[in-house]
Amino acid sequence: MGQDINVAVSYLDKAIADAVDAAKEAGLPQGLIVGLLHGHAHAQTHQMVSE
């Protein structure tokens, strides 16, 4: 992968980790956090295979 891709992946990973940490600190149940992440992953997968 190119350097620009590596940077984008690092930013995405950090943003997700920060959002999960904030959700935990706000008291969201772990199952809800996992469900939301799973739903977004499913939606993105559907979008990719439908193009």
pLDDT digits (tens, 9 = 90+) for 7-32: 999 999 999 999 999 999 999 999 99
Residue 34's pLDDT band, with cuts at 50, 70 and 90, is: very high
Listed residue (23, 43, 41, 25) closest to 33, CA to CA: 23
Residue 51's pLDDT band, with cuts at 50, 70 and 90, is: confident
Give the model's pLDDT for residue 11: 98
Whether the full predicted model's pTM is greater than 0.85, yes or no, is: no
